[in-house]
Chains A and B, each alone.
Chain A
Amino acid sequence: DTGVSQNPRHKITKRGQNVTFRCDPISEHNRLYWYRQTLGQGPEFLTYFQNEAQLEKSRLLSDRFSAERPKGSFSTLEIQRTEQGDSAMYLCASSSNGANYGYTFGSGTRLTVV
């Protein structure tokens, strides 16, 4: 297993367009998380899944954002009608059950909205 994989690494899009990011977690991890990180800030929680169930969503996750994790495997994060304020690094992480486990993060997808 090569860790958490995120695609694409970089995405440039025009304002108003829709974008979708993909995350492939470590196969034996049943929890998957999405975070957003802007320059000079720590990551901010967006949402997380346990298997295919989306258990928690942050208030940061506006109605333009939607995340799925079909069959409890990979996950997608879609942003509709992108705005310049959506420009950020989107990080995916996975973990096993249990709060004592640290998360394994992917390298992230950098989104630039022009």
Chain B
Amino acid sequence: AQTVTQSQPEMSVQEAETVTLSCTYDTSESDYYLFWYKQPPSRQMILVIRQEAYKQQNATENRFSVNFQKAAKSFSLKISDSQLGDAAMYFCAYRSLGGSQGNLIFGKGTKLSVKP
């Protein structure tokens, strides 16, 4: 079974600085998708960025980028020029292309605080 591990329960960053959130996963599959979701205090999960495992190029969405290391099974999220609105829980998630396509597997999350 696949697992997702986020080893940083909490992180803090100064406004306008850069922060990196870590995520590792375990799978025997070769094709899959990885996601980062943001959950602000209002509790609605928002998709931040996605990465297809077959793509070597790291995904980028404005101030958000990932460092995808397939061999190391690592998928970190970098937030540049941090803003107060980035404060939230961030969840890393894995989705299989195989049998369990309905099951998005989440890590336990990292709580990001942004200091003004």
Interface on A for B, CB 8 Å cutoff? 31, 33, 35, 40-45, 47-48, 55-56, 58, 89, 91, 93, 99-100, 102-108
B44→A105 contact, CB < 8 A: yes
Residues of B bordering A, CB below 8 Å: 4, 32-33, 35, 37, 42-47, 50, 52, 91, 93, 95-97, 100-109
- The answer for the CA separation of A56 and B102 in the assembled complex, in Å, is 7
Closest to A45 in B: B103
Q: Which residues of B contact A47 (CB under 8 A)?
A: 102
Greatest chain A CB density within 10 A among B4, B37, B50, B103 is at B103
On whether the beta carbons of B50 and A33 are closer than 8 Å, the reply is no
Contact for B105 among A33, A45, A48, A91, CB less than 8 A:
A45
Q: Which residue of A lies closest to B46 (CB)?
A: A105
B100 pairs with A56, CB closer than 8 A: yes
Contact at A33–B44, with CB atoms within 8 Å? no
* Complex CA distance for A55 and B101, rounded to whole angstroms: 10
Beyond A33-B104, A100-B50, whether A42 also contacts B43 by CB under 8 A is no
The smallest C-beta distance from A2 to any residue of chain B, in angstroms, reads: 12
Whether the Cβ atoms of A108 and B44 lie closer than 8 Å is: yes
Contacting pair B44 A56 (CB below 8 A): no
CB distance from B27 to the nearest CB of A (A): 14
- Looking at the complex, which one of B42, B95, B109 makes contact with A42 (CB distance below 8 Å)? B109
